[in-house]
Structure 1
Amino acid sequence: MQALSFRRQMFLLLAERMNQERSIQALYHILTGKKSSQTIQDIKWYNVTYFFRMFPYWKETEFENDTNDLQYHRYIASHNNRVLITEQGRSQNDNFRTSYSWPPIYNGWLYGKSAAVFWKRTALFVQCLSQTLAGNRRFLPVFEDISVQHWLKKNWPKTIEEKQQTASVLFDELRELLGELDERDAFLIMNRLTGYHLTGQTWTQLSTRLQMSEDECHFRFLGSVHFLLEHADRSAVLRRAASGLEVWDVLTETTKKTLHYMNEGWGMERIARVRNLKRSTIEDHVVEIASEQTGFPIGDYVAKEDQNLILHHASALETKRLKVLKEAAQPKELDYFSIRLTLAFYGRDNHGQA
C-alpha cells in the first residue's frame, strides 16, 4: 500500500467521515476553512469540526492533483459528484488510526482565527521580554501587526523588576503547560519562538529536525497553540494574550445581521424584504444560528413530532442526505428547511476528532 502524505491522509479520513454523501469540493472547503452556510452545515451534521481550516493554504490546483492521485491509486472513487471511499481507503485509515498519536486539542472551527492573534501576542511578548532583559533595544519584531504591538504596549511591565518577575513566572508556566504535551509538540512551540540570540526556526527546518512533513508540523503546532489558548487562564500573560479574542463568535457577518433582526422579533419574510435577500438565504442564516445557539427556539420553526421523525430516519438510515430523509418521511410532507434546521440544531455540540 502506497504511503500517503499527511494532507492526503487527512482528506481520506474526512472522506470516510462524510459517509459518501458530499462532493470533493465540499471537503476542500472544510479543510481550507471556507466559512459558508453549506460548509457550516456539513461540519456540524457530520461531526467534523476537527478538520475545519486544517490546511488554509491548500491551493485548489494542488488539491486537485492530490485527489486525482488518490483516485488513481484507488483510495477513493467518485459517483454522482460524491466522494466514495474504497475498501483500500478504509484499510489505510484503520492502519493510520491505530498508530497515530493525535494532539490533545485541535479545533480549527473555534480557534482558527483567534489562535493566530493569540500566538502573535505571545511570541512578540516573549521576544521583547528576552531582548529587553538582555539589554538589547535594537531588534526587528517578529510581527509588525499594529494591533498586536498596541496590545503589547498596553500589557508591557513597567519596571525592570516587573519584567524579571514576569519572565520568571512565564517560564515556569510555559514549562508546566508544555510538559503536558507530546515532546514533539512542545518542541514546535519552543522552536518557533524568537528571543535574544535565538531565531525562531522555519517550517522547513523543523520538518528536517523532527523528520515530519511541513504539513504535519504546521498541524501539530496549531494544535499546541489551541491547547495554550484553551488553558490560558493558567498563566497571567497567556490570559492577557487571550483577552478580547472572540473565540466563540463563529457566525458569518451576514448571519449576525439576520440574528439582530430575529432578536427584534422579525420573521424571515420581513428580514428578507428589508435586507433585499432571498428567503432561502435567510433560511441559510437561521440554520447557521441554530447550529451554534444552545437556546435556539427550534420549536418555533419545526414541530416536535417532525423533529423526532427527522432524527429517527437520520439515525436509522445513517444519512444526512436531505432528499433521502424527505422521501423517508412520506406520507408526511416535510420541507428541506425543516430537515436542515433539525440536523443543524441537534448537531451543534459535535466537536469530535478523527
Structure 2
Amino acid sequence: MLFDELIIAIMKAVNRERTVSSPFHLIKGKKSGQTIQDIGYYGLYPYFAVMPQLDKQAYDQAVAGLFARGLLRQNDAVIDLTDLAITSQTPETPLNGWKYRGNEALFLNRLSLIVQTFSHISQKVNIFDPVINSEDIQSWVKTYLRKHNFRDPSVPSEFKNQLLSSLEETMVPEKHKMILMQRLSGLGYSGLTWEQIAAGYGNTPLDVQLNLIETLHAWMQVIEQNRYPLLSALMEGVIQQSSLTESAQRTEKLFARGFSLEQIAELRQLKTSTIEDHFVELAMNDPYFNYSSFMSEEAFQAIVGLSRDQQTKRLRDIKEKLPEVTYFQIRLALAIK
C-alpha cells in the first residue's frame, strides 16, 4: 500500500462526513474522542496510529496531490471524493494499527540494536556507536543479550536463522522485506535513510515508511505464534493488551464502582467532555454496555433509526432532526450501534 492509497482508503469510509484533516489524526493515532469513535463507526481499526511521527506538512502535500490528480473536489466543509477515487481499488494490507498502536517502533529499535551488536561481536569488535540512543532501549537490549548468552557464537547464528525463517513466512512483497533489511546497520554498513531507499524504488519516503510498517505488522503476527523464541522476546510490551486507552480504563473502573459521569470528571479533574469521550470509547468496545444511565430506550432507537434511514453518522445532521437529544447521546448511540 502506498501512502496516497492509505489516505484514500480512510477517506472512502468517511466521505462527506468528516474533514480533510481527519485521516491525519487517525494515522497519527490521536486519542481524541472524535478519532477514537470514528475508528468504531467506520471500521478503521487497521489504520489507527500506523505513522505516529507523520508530519502535517507532508500529509498536506499528499492531499494536494490527490486534488491535482482529480481524486478530491474542493469542499471547505468535508471530504468530497470524486467518482475516480470512490471506484478505485483499495489494496489489501496487513496493517493492524489498533493492535500495535505505534509500538512496532519499539520492536524495530530493539531488533536494530541487537543486529548491530551481533554483527560486531561476531567479528570480535566490542566497541561501536549504537544506532539507538535511547537509554531504555539500550538497557533492555543489554538484559536480553546477557539472558541469551550472546557471546556464544551459536546465538547470533541462531538469531539470524530465526529472523530469516520467520521473514520467509511473512506474507508481504519481497521489496517490503528488503526495505527492512536496508534500514538495519552492521559492521561496516550503515542503514540507509528513507530518502535513499525511496530514490532506489522510485517512491516517496512516506511510501517506503508505510511499506516497512506493513512488513513489521505482518512479521510480528508470525512471531506471535511463539515458534521463534529469540524473536518472541522482542515482543515484550509491544501488543496493546486492552482495546481501551489508559485514561478510558481509569474511567471504566470508577464507573464500575458506582460513580456518575459528573463525579468521575470531578474526581479526575478532567473536563466533562473528556469523560464523555471515555464513555463513547467504552460503548464502542463493550458489546454489553448499558446505556440506560445516559438516555432512554426511545432516544436510543430514534438516533439509531435516523442514522440508518438517512445513512449518516454526521452528528450535526442527526441533531438537526432530533433537537431534544444531546450530542453526547448521539455519539454514544452510534458507538453502541
TM range (shorter): 0.7 to 0.9
Contact 1:188-1:206 within 8 A present in 2 as well: yes
Return the offset for 1:328: 6.2
2:197 to 206, 222, 229: 206
Of 172-181 and 146-155, the range deviating more from structure 2: 172-181
1:255 to 215, 234, 248: 248
1:15 to 11, 32, 38: 11
Return the offset for 1:131: 1.4
Contact 2:7-2:23 within 8 A present in 1 as well: yes
Return the offset for 1:329: 6.8
Match status 1:121 vs 2:110:
yes
User: Which residue pairs with 2:181 in the alignment?
Assistant: 190
1:138 to 98, 118, 127: 127
User: Which residue pairs with 2:282 in the alignment?
Assistant: 289
Distance in 2 (alpha carbons) for counterparts of 1:159 and 1:51: 35
User: What is the root-mean-square deviation in Å for CA atoms of aligned residues?
Assistant: 3.0
User: Which residue pairs with 1:349 in the alignment?
Assistant: none
Segments of structure 2 that go 5 or more residues without pairing to the other structure are none
Distance in 1 (alpha carbons) for counterparts of 2:148 and 2:215: 31
Return the offset for 1:311: 4.2
Distance in 1 (alpha carbons) for counterparts of 2:184 and 2:319: 53
Match status 1:217 vs 2:205:
no
Of 57-66 and 141-150, the range deviating more from structure 2: 57-66
- Secondary structure, aligned partner of 1:319: coil
1:339 to 326, 330, 333: 330
User: Which residue pairs with 2:20 in the alignment?
Assistant: 24
Query: Larger relative CO (CA 8 A, sep 6+): 1 or 2?
Result: 1
Residues 224 and 9 from structure 1, CA distance in 2 versus in 1: closer, same or farther, beyond 3 angstroms? Answer: closer
Residues 164 and 296 from structure 1, CA distance in 2 versus in 1: closer, same or farther, beyond 3 angstroms? Answer: farther
- Secondary structure, aligned partner of 1:270: helix
Of 128-137 and 60-69, the range deviating more from structure 2: 60-69
Of 239-248 and 139-148, the range deviating more from structure 2: 239-248
Percent same amino acid among aligned pairs?
27
Distance in 1 (alpha carbons) for counterparts of 2:251 and 2:289: 14
Return the offset for 1:30: 1.6
The superposition leaves residues 136-178 of structure 1 with CA deviations (integer Å, 9 ceiling, x where unpaired) of 1011111121111111122214686873333233222222221
User: Which residue pairs with 1:89 in the alignment?
Assistant: 85
The superposition leaves residues 253-290 of structure 1 with CA deviations (integer Å, 9 ceiling, x where unpaired) of 54344233223221112112333444333211211233
Contact 2:177-2:215 within 8 A present in 1 as well: yes
The superposition leaves residues 48-70 of structure 1 with CA deviations (integer Å, 9 ceiling, x where unpaired) of 22232344444334444443453
Residues 234 and 297 from structure 1, CA distance in 2 versus in 1: closer, same or farther, beyond 3 angstroms? Answer: farther
2:45 to 49, 65, 71: 49
- Secondary structure, aligned partner of 1:138: coil
Return the offset for 1:26: 1.9
Residues 218 and 161 from structure 1, CA distance in 2 versus in 1: closer, same or farther, beyond 3 angstroms? Answer: closer
Residues 215 and 256 from structure 1, CA distance in 2 versus in 1: closer, same or farther, beyond 3 angstroms? Answer: same
TM-score w.r.t. structure 2 length? 0.84
> What amino acid does structure 2 have at the position aligned with 1:337?
F
User: Which residue pairs with 1:75 in the alignment?
Assistant: 71
Segments of structure 1 that go 5 or more residues without pairing to the other structure are 347-354
Return the offset for 1:135: 0.8
Match status 1:230 vs 2:221:
yes
TM-score w.r.t. structure 1 length? 0.81
Residues 242 and 274 from structure 1, CA distance in 2 versus in 1: closer, same or farther, beyond 3 angstroms? Answer: same
Distance in 2 (alpha carbons) for counterparts of 1:71 and 1:210: 24
Aligned pairs for 1:264-303 (under 5 A) are 264-293=257-286, 296-298=289-291, 301=294
Contact 2:50-2:97 within 8 A present in 1 as well: yes
> What amino acid does structure 2 have at the position aligned with 1:16?
K
Contact 1:51-1:107 within 8 A present in 2 as well: yes
Distance in 2 (alpha carbons) for counterparts of 1:265 and 1:190: 52
Residues 283 and 34 from structure 1, CA distance in 2 versus in 1: closer, same or farther, beyond 3 angstroms? Answer: same
Residues 163 and 108 from structure 1, CA distance in 2 versus in 1: closer, same or farther, beyond 3 angstroms? Answer: farther
